[in-house]
Amino acid sequence: MSVPEAVTAPRRVGLIGYGLAGSVFHAPLIAATDGLLLDTVSTRSPERQAQARAEHPQVRTVATAEEVLDRAAAGALDLIVLASPNKTHVPLATAALEAGVAVVVDKPLAATAAEAEALAALADRRGLLLSVFQNRRWDNDFRTVRQLVADGALGEVQRFESRFERWRPQPKGGWRESGDPVELGGLLYDLGSHLVDQALTLFGPAVSVYAESDVRRPGAQADDDTFFALTHAGGVRSHLWVSATTAQLGPRFRVLGSRAGYVKYGLDPQEAALRAGLRPGTEGDAWGVEPASRWGRLGAEGQAHAAGAESPGTPAGQPVPSLPGAYPAYYAAVARALRDGGAPPVTATEAAATLRVLEAAGRSAREGRAVAL
């Protein structure tokens, strides 16, 4: 018996936005996913339109988001991906859902949890997929931490430390660093969206948030050095840092448990690979794999010399092979959900929980106190 063409045909994707997020992350991952076809890209920039056609010769380019929405309303698209500025996420996602097409939105989904919940309700009423691109769930280091926690290798986790720190003493400008609240700029909503999503994924809901947020660099308008602490309902404390002003970088993760700790430096290699023009499926089994010299270490103080640590500054314990990074898994899961009608890999309800924490963190920083959730 033959399979109906409607089941086997790839889902046609319209991508709104071809800046960093659209060109480096979304377009390459969509193009590498069986069951998805990058059909249309919208960007007002003629240079970026030319870039899109050069990188994806089969794609059509248009100047406006409205043209993508018109194609969706005409039945020519099955999925719209929003890689546009943060302030456009809610209106464009609403328009796409009302046009009857599934939507993937780059993080953050919205400015508030209430807006995210309203989008989730609209998607449910229309029977449409709505997902949020939280690619950092598929970072190699986070996948490794998640496996260690699940295996009980740390014992009872007590404190989870997570950092996205950079040394960028000069602001780059643009909407991401704008002080206008409408733009949703600043690191709290940008990198903080990743760190909170990871913490909630690992340890469940937070019951209180405390934050300190500063604008450090001359000429900067939005937060560029922020710390926030979550107390989870299960008792774990998450300490999270996002910064553009860190001249000496701390560990990406330090996870402390009753039996052992895990320390990992450096970033997942996938973003650098994508920026360099490498693509999933062209690297064989090497995609997302990092060298042994970058692996984290698992153990407890006093084990360093027994394990043959190279120097007194080396974290205690034994190296732990990092699981490969797996960004392609996100869109593979989206394709399955579109085909089979299952749940998306990241839900709007999960995004609302993250936004609830980010809102509380902003309030805590302004008022100088912990905020209960």
Q: Tell me the residue range of the domain where 131 lies.
A: 5-135+329-342
Residues 101 and 212 reside in one and the same domain: no
Residues 251 and 276 reside in one and the same domain: yes
Which pLDDT value is given to residue 7? 56
Residues 285 and 216 reside in one and the same domain: yes
Residues 187 and 318 reside in one and the same domain: yes
Residue at 315 is within a domain: yes
Q: Which residue from 22, 236, 35, 209 is spatially nearest to 113, judged by alpha carbons? A: 209
Residue at 72 is within a domain: yes
Residues 141 and 259 reside in one and the same domain: yes
Residue at 353 is within a domain: no
Residues 102 and 52 reside in one and the same domain: yes
Average confidence (pLDDT) over 108-117: 97
Which pLDDT value is given to residue 306? 47
DSSP per-residue letters across 83-121: -S-GGGHHHHHHHHHHTT-EEEEESP--SSHHHHHHHHH
Which pLDDT value is given to residue 55? 97
Residue at 351 is within a domain: no
Residue at 350 is within a domain: no
Residues 275, 279, 283, CA angle at the centre, nearest 5°? 120
Residues 267 and 122 reside in one and the same domain: no
Which pLDDT value is given to residue 260? 98
Domain count, the chain: 2
Q: How confident is the model at residue 175 (pLDDT cuts 50, 70, 90)?
A: confident
Residues 334 and 199 reside in one and the same domain: no
Residue at 33 is within a domain: yes
Residue at 70 is within a domain: yes
Average confidence (pLDDT) over 157-162: 98
Residues 124 and 179 reside in one and the same domain: no
Residues 209 and 220 reside in one and the same domain: yes
Average confidence (pLDDT) over 340-355: 96
Whether residue 82 is predicted with pLDDT greater than 70 in this model: the reply is: yes
Q: How confident is the model at residue 284 (pLDDT cuts 50, 70, 90)?
A: low
CATH of the domain at 199: 3.30.360.10
Q: How many CB atoms lie within 10 A of CB 212?
A: 15
CATH of the domain at 66: 3.40.50.720
Residues 97 and 209 reside in one and the same domain: no
Residues 121 and 141 reside in one and the same domain: no
For the stretch 165-169, contacts whose Cβ atoms lie closer than 8 Å and that sit 24 or more positions apart, written own/partner, are 165/241, 165/242, 165/243, 165/246, 165/249, 165/250, 166/243, 166/244, 166/246, 166/249, 167/244, 167/245, 167/246, 167/247, 167/249, 168/217, 168/244, 168/245, 169/217, 169/245
Average confidence (pLDDT) over 173-188: 83
Q: How confident is the model at residue 304 (pLDDT cuts 50, 70, 90)?
A: low
Residue at 260 is within a domain: yes
